[in-house]
Amino acid sequence: MWKFGEAALEETERYAAIARRISSLILQMEAPSDVVAELNAALERAEAGLAALAPGDARPRIGNAADGEGRVYLDHSRSVGAYNPAFPIYTLEVDGSRAAGTVTFPVLYEGPPGLVHGGFLAVFFDQAIQHHNCDVGTAGKTTRLDVRYSAPTPLLSELRFEIDRSVDERRIVSTARLFKRDEKGDVLCATATMQAVAGNLAALPPVSRRRTR
């Protein structure tokens, strides 16, 4: 099992879930709202308090900077959306060189009306494929990601995806396909082919542990 970095705090994960839901709701507002005004004021107060607590250096404490004054690096090997609302939430079941799962994109990820922005699909594919790689135990930096769009991808619908991978001493090659359902059955929305370095977990740079104040 591949892991690199610290786990997110429980409160961070709770924030991500709330922020994702609230952002989707705010995007649906059709008139000014006292609720949104109060929320903005509360967030501005929270911003000032968090700025006083966060490290002054926003660079991650890894490698030569592991003993520096930067921030803790959170593990990005899998399920980044659990703590970062900029990433989608999905399920993933791994069976060796194959994996499958589901994903539903909320309004937060809209591009064309009612449809998922293609850039968010690329983020989703990169994250889900690397999650598969990390669970299998051989992962590394993405060197190429090609996404082909076959049909519009709807928001607010459960979508199915599948991943196949192969690996040699130097490279991992994965192909992922995303499907929606209609009255005729599964419809291919997008296909991603990704190449990644077959890395060595033991060769990764040191990562600073979370610090307590």
Q: Tokens at residue 158, please?
A: 């459960």
Which residue from 187, 21, 26, 179 is spatially nearest to 106, judged by alpha carbons?
21
User: In whole angstroms, how large is the CA radius of gyration of the chain?
Assistant: 19
pTM of the predicted protein model: 0.93
Asked, for residue 209, whether it belongs to a domain, the answer is: no
Q: In the block, which residue shows the tokens 């490698």?
A: 63
Asked, for residue 208, whether it belongs to a domain, the answer is: no
Asked, for residue 1, whether it belongs to a domain, the answer is: no
Asked, for residue 15, whether it belongs to a domain, the answer is: yes
What is the amino acid identity at position 83?
Answer: Y
When divided into structural domains, the chain yields a total of: 1
Asked, for residue 84, whether it belongs to a domain, the answer is: yes
| DSSP-assigned beta bridge partners for residue 176 | 163, 192
Asked, for residue 41, whether it belongs to a domain, the answer is: yes
Q: Buried (b) or exposed (e) across 119-135, using 16+ Cβ within 10 A?
A: ebbbbbbbbbbbbbbbb
User: Which pLDDT does position 212 carry in this prediction?
Assistant: 79
* Domain span holding position 74: 10-203
What is the amino acid identity at position 70?
Answer: G
- Residue-averaged pLDDT of the chain: 95
Asked, for residue 53, whether it belongs to a domain, the answer is: yes
Asked, for residue 98, whether it belongs to a domain, the answer is: yes
As separate numbers, helices (DSSP H) first and strands (DSSP E) second, the chain gives: 3, 6
What is the amino acid identity at position 50?
Answer: L
What CATH number does the domain containing 88 carry?
Answer: 3.10.129.10
- pLDDT tens figures, 114-125: 999 999 999 999
User: Which pLDDT does position 213 carry in this prediction?
Assistant: 64
- pLDDT tens figures, 116-153: 999 999 999 999 999 999 999 999 999 999 999 999 99
- pLDDT tens figures, 34-87: 999 999 999 999 999 999 999 989 999 999 999 999 999 999 999 999 999 999
